[in-house]
Structures are given as C-alpha cells and as structure tokens.
C-alpha cells in the first residue's frame, strides 16, 4: 500500500472513528435529552396535577360559598314572603268580615276620626254593596249625637283599595284605607312579627 493509499485508509479510519464518536455522542445526547424531557414531563405533569387539584379545590370552595349565599338569599326571601303574608293576611281577614261586623268597624273608625263632619267619604270599589249613603246616614246620626255636623256624603267615585276609606276634607285628604294603615303599622310591628315567626328581630 503506497503512501497515497495509506492516507486514504487513515482518512477512512478517522472518518469511521469520528462517525462512531458522533453517533455515540448523538445517542448519549439523545438519551440525556430524553431523560431530561421525561423528568420535565414528570414535573410538569405533577405540577399540572397539583394545579388541577388546587383549581378543583378552589372551584369547590367557590361553589360552596355561592351555594351558601344563594341559600341565604332564599331564606331571606322566604322570610320576607312570610312577613308579607302576615300583613297581607290582616287586610284579607278584615275585608272578608261579615257585613255587619265590617260596618261596625268602619263606623267606629269614622266616629273616632279627626273630621269636621261634612267631609266626602271615598269607599272601596269592593264595598259598593255594603257601604253606601245609607250607611253614612247612620254614621251622621251618631256624629250629631257627639255634637258634630253629621253631614258626611258619599263620594261619586270609589277607591282602588281593598278595604277602609279615604276622607276628603276642605284642604286635606286622610287615607284610612286598610292598606295605608297596615303599611304604617308594619314599620312599628315588623320586628315583633319577625321575632314571633323566626325567634329573631327583622
């Protein structure tokens, strides 16, 4: 083998060795990268799992808080409805009284009202068959016995309230409908009603 051939052979041998070294290095590098990636994936998976668990716990906590708030709202709404039903029931019970009892209540209210005795009285549209001018004539007789004018007259219109009446004087109007009376009493009595219903103040 001449020098030229030896050089060629050496080049081939060196190339082969370098190729093997490169391949080995590449394989080692690939193995290192694979291991690093595997570790990274493992860490990422663990981190994601922890994050997911934390997110799940946070989601659960928020759902519980939201559910508790919603429940509180529903309880408060139910309590308000019950209190409303109590006061609304008062109006219903009074307006559904027997006619004689109802007239007696209205007559007593008129006789104890701060009136001159010549006002116009507006009764409810629901009372057109039990409170009329004939009823006012009876009240006027009682007013005269008290030393007052006794000239109450029936208004030409009827009020859009459930029960009671409205007095129209010369310069003032007194709303004695049961809705207005109950509204005024509710401000004072609602805490007591709440305590009776729920054992707590409103």
User: What confidence tens digit (pLDDT) does each residue in 58-79 have?
Assistant: 666 676 667 677 777 777 777 7
CA distance 103 to 164: 10
State the pLDDT at residue 30.
62
CA distance 163 to 179: 8
Query: Is 120 found in the same domain as 65?
Result: no
Query: Is 182 found in the same domain as 105?
Result: yes
Higher-pLDDT residue of 176 and 13 is 176
Domain end marker among 78, 105, 129: 78
Query: Is 110 found in the same domain as 158?
Result: yes
Residue 6 has pLDDT above 50, yes or no: no
Structure tokens at 98: 């027997």
Nearest C-alpha neighbor of 192 from the set 180, 179, 177, 202: 202
Are 163 and 89 in contact, with CB atoms under 8 Å apart? no
What letters, b where the CB count within 10 A reaches 16 and e where it falls short, cover 44-70? eeeeeeeeeeeeeeeeeeeeeeeeeee
State the pLDDT at residue 200.
60
Query: Is 191 found in the same domain as 101?
Result: yes
Print the domain residue range for 183: 97-198
Residue 129 has pLDDT above 60, yes or no: yes
Beta strand 153-154 with 120-123: parallel, antiparallel or unpaired? parallel
Residue 2 has pLDDT above 50, yes or no: no
Mean pLDDT (whole number) for 106-131: 90
Domain end marker among 24, 45, 78: 78
Mean pLDDT of the chain: 77
Instruction: Please count the structural domains in the chain.
Output: 2
Mean pLDDT (whole number) for 103-132: 90
State the pLDDT at residue 14.
44
State the pLDDT at residue 4.
36
Query: Is 3 found in the same domain as 64?
Result: yes
Are 177 and 159 in contact, with CB atoms under 8 Å apart? yes
Query: Is 188 found in the same domain as 132?
Result: yes
């Amino acid at each position: 083998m001449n020098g030229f051939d030896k050089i060629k052979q050496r080049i081939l041998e060196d190339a082969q060795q370098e190729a093997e070294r490169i391949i080995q290095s590449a394989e080692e590098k690939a193995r290192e990268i694979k291991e690093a990636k595997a570790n990274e994936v493992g860490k990422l998976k663990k981190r994601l799992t922890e994050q997911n668990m934390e997110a799940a716990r946070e989601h659960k906590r928020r759902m519980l808080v939201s559910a508790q708030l919603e429940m509180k709202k529903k309880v408060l709404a139910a309590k308000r409805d019950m209190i409303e039903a109590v006061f609304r029931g008062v109006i219903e019970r009074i307006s559904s009284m027997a006619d004689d009892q109802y007239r007696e209540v209205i007559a007593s209210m008129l006789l104890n009202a701060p009136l001159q005795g010549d006002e116009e009285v507006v009764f409810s549209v629901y009372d057109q068959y039990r409170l009329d001018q004939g009823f006012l004539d009876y009240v006027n007789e009682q007013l005269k016995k008290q030393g007052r004018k006794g000239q109450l007259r029936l208004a030409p219109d009827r009020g859009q309230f459930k029960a009671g009446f409205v007095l129209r004087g010369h310069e003032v109007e007194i709303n004695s409908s049961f809705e207005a009376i109950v509204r005024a009493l509710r401000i004072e009595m609602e805490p007591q009603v709440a305590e009776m219903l729920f054992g707590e103040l409103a």
